[in-house]
Structure 1
Amino acid sequence: MTMEPAVIWHARPNRLRDRLWRAVDQGLADCAAASPAVFFRADDIGVPGRHFARLASLFARHRTPLSLAVVPAWLTPERWHALRTAAPGGRDLWCWHQHGWRHVSHAVSGKKQEFGSRRGGDRIARDLRLGKARLTAVMEDDFFPGFTPPWNRCGPEALQQLREQGFRFISRSRGALPPPPEGLPDFPVNVDLHTRKETLPENGWERLFSEIRDGIAGGCCGVMIHHQRMNDAAFDFLGMMLSKISGVARLKRVHLGHLAEARGYGYGIRPVGGSLS
């Protein structure tokens, strides 16, 4: 499954490396935190292929953790074996967690969402349980009980069910509502690499660099990835970004499991670059 890349990946600007370096450095200069964190979250995982293998290889090569949001209904034991073959290694590098149930929108109107309020609490609870059970059965100890809702949105019933069913985190977009209940930390993404909507490439690049700068300045930069929308230019930029981030000692490269651990909801895994405390 491949999809059309965003317009920026068809128009590489001049001095791209310098502009990326400047965005990261400016974010660090504006950040009050001693050790700002950076995490990457790859959505719509479940079907192995060349794009996924290339993505996993890139993160492994840079020893940078990656949070992988897996659609339970897409996963089979055979597909899981292929995914793990492409992404070997343990919990220090990968955070395999839940991405909805079937990744199907049930919204009658408005924006897409799989777990909106109109479905009712019973159906929401059932689908969350089914997804968690599928991933636990197939992934076994590799599954981390965290949740990224498809399209980065869900209703209050889903948030409450996630808490009651023992999920350790939710990850949505910056500013997402409603707020999660106590005991369910939300670690939002604030940089969108591949589902951008700009029609003019330069507008997209300006906004992307602003997102990177502001994310780092805020103390936790979450980067959203959709590997099915990546072309060679998108992979090259991601490699450039990983090279820069891995070379900055002040930045802590983490995945969502590390962030949950820092809040007391994890499994004792450690981030790359030391403690988050």
Structure 2
Amino acid sequence: MMETSIWQPMIDRFDRLKAAGRRVDFWLRDDDAVEPTPALDRLIDLADRFSVPITLAVIPGHTGGELSHYLARHDDIGIAVHGWTHQNHATPLEKRQELGGHRPREIVLDELGRGYSHLKALHPSSFVPLLVPPWNRIDPGLIEGLPGIGFMALSVFGPERKGRSNPDGAKTMKSGSIASAFPRDGLSLINTHVDVMDWHGTRGCRDHREIIQDIIRRLDEMNVDEEAVGILTHHLVHDESVWEFLSRLFELTAVHPACRWRRVSDLIAR
């Protein structure tokens, strides 16, 4: 049985959406995939159980045919470009970033182009033209070069629109500057908004109540008819509390008529 005490505020919000004839879209982005692992098996099995599509942000420079062959057996998985090698180029006094302004723009865009081509070749049927910057940070000056590579969307962490509050500003490099670059012809901004991990504390799962509060906060700030709730996970570092939370979230949202899990390719097309 699901504990309804901490989940009830979110259930109540979904019930109100249902009564109003509205529905909220969710999408799941999981970062840092490179190869098949027991943790990836567990994530895919859990998502399959509740028909939740997964967007895997794969690190191009560290992956190859092993992951490609493994994922070919699974449906409802989209492959996004997670930088090039997930290498930090920032100085010790800065937040980590691979796609910052520390190197010539041409070099960074060339690496992203190589990553795009590599993953598209490895995963021809599941590749999506989505860039997920490592550490959710990208220099705004690089954004205008992404459509020329073939990218149709960018995904970092935080609200897509200017003026919206960011529950964890440290997650996003120059969040306001990135939002200011949109709307942009040929490129959508499709972010994640709720992170299950306590990166600055236990490095395990955050308190479940806090994650639920973040989901409700996102529902408050978003346009339900035009935007989605992006859930961010990292399968390689999940503890049991993360798996428990995801199981309960999927269980609840999979059956509630006011909720719908979407492929990121559908969100890009929209």
TM-score band w.r.t. shorter chain? 0.7 to 0.9
1:197 to 197, 200, 219: 200
Q: CA offset at residue 23 of structure 1?
A: 2.6
1:43 aligns with 2:31: yes
Please give the alpha-carbon distance, in whole angstroms, between the structure 1 residues aligned to 2:8 and 2:231: 16
**Corresponding residue number in structure 2 for 1:20:** 7
1:65 to 53, 56, 59: 53
**Corresponding residue number in structure 2 for 1:208:** 211
Please give the alpha-carbon distance, in whole angstroms, between the structure 1 residues aligned to 2:3 and 2:200: 20
Please give the alpha-carbon distance, in whole angstroms, between the structure 1 residues aligned to 2:265 and 2:21: 20
Return 137-146 or 192-201, whichever deviates more: 192-201
Structure 1 residues 147 and 21, CA gap change in structure 2 (3 angstroms): farther
Return 207-216 or 241-250, whichever deviates more: 207-216
Please give the alpha-carbon distance, in whole angstroms, between the structure 1 residues aligned to 2:207 and 2:246: 16
Please give the alpha-carbon distance, in whole angstroms, between the structure 1 residues aligned to 2:203 and 2:119: 40
Give the secondary structure class of the aligned counterpart of 1:113: coil
Report sequence identity in percent: 23
The CA deviation string for residues 189-209 of structure 1, in whole angstroms up to 9 with x for no partner, is 110012443469998444322
Please give the alpha-carbon distance, in whole angstroms, between the structure 2 residues aligned to 1:106 and 1:128: 15
Q: CA offset at residue 225 of structure 1?
A: 0.4
Q: CA offset at residue 59 of structure 1?
A: 0.7
1:186 aligns with 2:169: no
Please give the alpha-carbon distance, in whole angstroms, between the structure 2 residues aligned to 1:99 and 1:260: 17
TM-score (norm 1): 0.79
1:159 aligns with 2:162: no
1:240 aligns with 2:256: no
Please give the alpha-carbon distance, in whole angstroms, between the structure 1 residues aligned to 2:90 and 2:203: 30
Letter in 2 for 1:254: R
- Structure number with greater CO (CA < 8 Å, separation at least 6) is 1
CA contact (8 A) 1:193 1:225 kept: yes
**Corresponding residue number in structure 2 for 1:78:** 66
The CA deviation string for residues 36-89 of structure 1, in whole angstroms up to 9 with x for no partner, is 21111101111211000010011111111111111101211123212334xx11
Segments of structure 2 that go 5 or more residues without pairing to the other structure are 160-174
1:119 to 81, 103, 106: 103
Letter in 1 for 2:238: M
Q: CA offset at residue 158 of structure 1?
A: 2.2
CA contact (8 A) 1:27 1:214 kept: no
Q: Report the aligned-residue RMSD.
A: 2.5
Give the secondary structure class of the aligned counterpart of 1:141: coil
Q: After TM superposition, list the pairs within 5 Å mapping 1:85-104 onto structure 2.
A: 85=73, 88-89=74-75, 93-104=76-87
Letter in 2 for 1:208: I
Return 136-145 or 241-250, whichever deviates more: 136-145
**Corresponding residue number in structure 2 for 1:5:** none
Q: How many residues align?
A: 243
Q: CA offset at residue 156 of structure 1?
A: 1.9
Give the secondary structure class of the aligned counterpart of 1:208: helix
Q: CA offset at residue 33 of structure 1?
A: 8.6
Please give the alpha-carbon distance, in whole angstroms, between the structure 1 residues aligned to 2:11 and 2:58: 29
Please give the alpha-carbon distance, in whole angstroms, between the structure 2 residues aligned to 1:84 and 1:28: 37
Give the secondary structure class of the aligned counterpart of 1:140: coil
Q: CA offset at residue 34 of structure 1?
A: 2.0
The CA deviation string for residues 223-252 of structure 1, in whole angstroms up to 9 with x for no partner, is 100111212232122111101011111212
